[in-house]
């Protein structure tokens, strides 16, 4: 059977044959005239389809560099606040504004002690001064990094339903040196640890953390009281209706914004991770120095 006859037989079955490769495939394309899907009828249709595809590829290759360079990888996505928070060195006022950290409560609810962190009021809403928030957040970053660099344990507390995955992700980012409380803080965790955990566990294990970070401190005043009794430093997001003095390291920001909580918890957890890496490097350097000294003695 000749090649032309074989090609006509394949056309009758609704199939086409690529003259170059000899592969059977069902090829359909839309013509510019009627924009309807048609089956290739002969070899000329096949060549027309290949020319159209080559022309489109040439146009895309030539003009794509003139368009936008934004993509899913280099633009902000809603999940980046939780899974890809900015590192502490890249923290800016723009990121705080984008997270809505500058919105406070009604001006009638403003705590008098919050006045130094207030920028003003607009439409009856207190506007938080982010020029004060940013340095205080960087101070909290330094504290978290320093505690983690000494192998300290950190507890993230966020008891609202929208904060549970935030504290869980922050503790997961730091590994075994961090814990999270997303449901309810059990009263007496710090002040009654002997009866709660048992005398053996309370004496042999580290039950009292070295730092507690609260994303909604007003709803966890009992946690702050226990930390004060146990001399545990605290970091908290303080809104305009809260007294900044209730925590040791306040961060004036909107405590009702999930994006603000994701930003603060993410930045602090990354700082804690950096501190743990520094601690491991110091441990490795000390161990290497000990081994060298032992070799010299031997």
pLDDT band at 38 (very low <50, low <70, confident <90, very high): low
The two beta strands, 154-157 and 211-214, are parallel
**Mean pLDDT over residues 46-53, rounded?**
90
pLDDT at 76: 74
For residue 236, give the 3-state DSSP assignment: strand
pLDDT at 27: 39
pLDDT band at 162 (very low <50, low <70, confident <90, very high): very high
Residues β-bridged to residue 237: 251
Predicted confidence (pLDDT) at residue 33 exceeds the cutoff of 70? no
Per-chain mean pLDDT for the chain: 85
pLDDT at 13: 45
pLDDT at 25: 36
Predicted confidence (pLDDT) at residue 85 exceeds the cutoff of 70? yes
Domain 88-283 belongs to what topology? Rossmann fold (3.40.50)
pLDDT at 14: 43
For the stretch 63-79, pLDDT in tens is 877 777 777 777 777 77
Instruction: Kindly write down the DSSP assignment for every residue of 202-218, as one continuous string.
Output: HHHS--S-SEEEESSGG
pLDDT band at 5 (very low <50, low <70, confident <90, very high): low
Predicted confidence (pLDDT) at residue 39 exceeds the cutoff of 60? yes
Candidate from 20-24, 130-134, 147-151, 164-168 with smallest mean pLDDT: 20-24
Going through 123-264 in order, the beta strands assigned E by DSSP cover 125-128, 154-157, 178-181, 211-214, 234-238, 249-252
pLDDT band at 165 (very low <50, low <70, confident <90, very high): very high
| Contacting residues for 282 by C-beta, under 8 A, at least 6 apart | 149
pLDDT band at 2 (very low <50, low <70, confident <90, very high): low
Burial class (CB in 10 A: 0-12, 13-18, 19+), 294: exposed
For the stretch 111-142, pLDDT in tens is 999 999 999 999 999 999 999 999 999 999 99
**Mean pLDDT over residues 164-173, rounded?**
95
This prediction has a pTM of 0.74
Higher pLDDT, residue 84 or 145? 145
Cα–Cα distances (Å) from 222 to 153, 188, 282, in that order, read 20, 9, 37
| Contacting residues for 21 by C-beta, under 8 A, at least 6 apart | none
pLDDT band at 43 (very low <50, low <70, confident <90, very high): confident
**Mean pLDDT over residues 173-185, rounded?**
93
């Amino acid at each position: 059977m000749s090649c032309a006859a074989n090609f006509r037989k394949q056309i009758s079955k609704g199939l086409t044959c690529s003259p170059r490769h000899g592969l059977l495939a069902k090829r359909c394309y839309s013509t510019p005239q009627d924009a309807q899907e048609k089956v290739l009828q002969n070899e000329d249709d096949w060549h027309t389809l290949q020319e159209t595809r080559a022309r489109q590829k040439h146009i895309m290759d030539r003009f794509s560099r003139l368009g936008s360079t934004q993509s899913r990888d280099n633009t902000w996505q809603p999940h980046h606040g939780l899974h890809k928070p900015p590192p502490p060195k890249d923290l800016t006022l723009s990121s705080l504004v984008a997270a809505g950290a500058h919105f406070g409560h009604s001006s009638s609810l403003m705590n008098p002690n919050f006045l130094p962190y207030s920028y003003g009021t607009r439409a009856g809403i207190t506007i938080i001064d982010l020029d004060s928030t940013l340095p205080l957040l960087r101070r909290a970053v330094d504290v978290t990094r320093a505690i983690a660099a000494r192998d300290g344990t950190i507890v993230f507390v966020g008891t609202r339903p929208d904060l549970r995955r935030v504290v869980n992700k922050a503790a997961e980012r730091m590994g075994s040196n961090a814990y999270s409380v997303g449901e309810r803080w059990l009263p007496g965790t710090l002040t009654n640890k002997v009866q709660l955990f048992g005398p053996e566990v309370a004496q042999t294990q580290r039950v009292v953390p070295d730092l507690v970070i609260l994303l909604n401190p007003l709803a966890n005043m009992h946690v702050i009281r226990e930390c004060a009794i146990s001399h545990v430093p605290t970091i908290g997001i303080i809104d305009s209706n809260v007294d900044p003095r209730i925590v040791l390291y306040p961060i004036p920001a909107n405590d009702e914004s999930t994006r603000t909580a994701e930003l603060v918890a993410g930045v602090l957890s990354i700082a804690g991770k950096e501190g743990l890496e520094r601690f491991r490097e110091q441990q490795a350097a000390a161990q290497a120095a000990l081994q060298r000294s032992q070799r010299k003695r031997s």
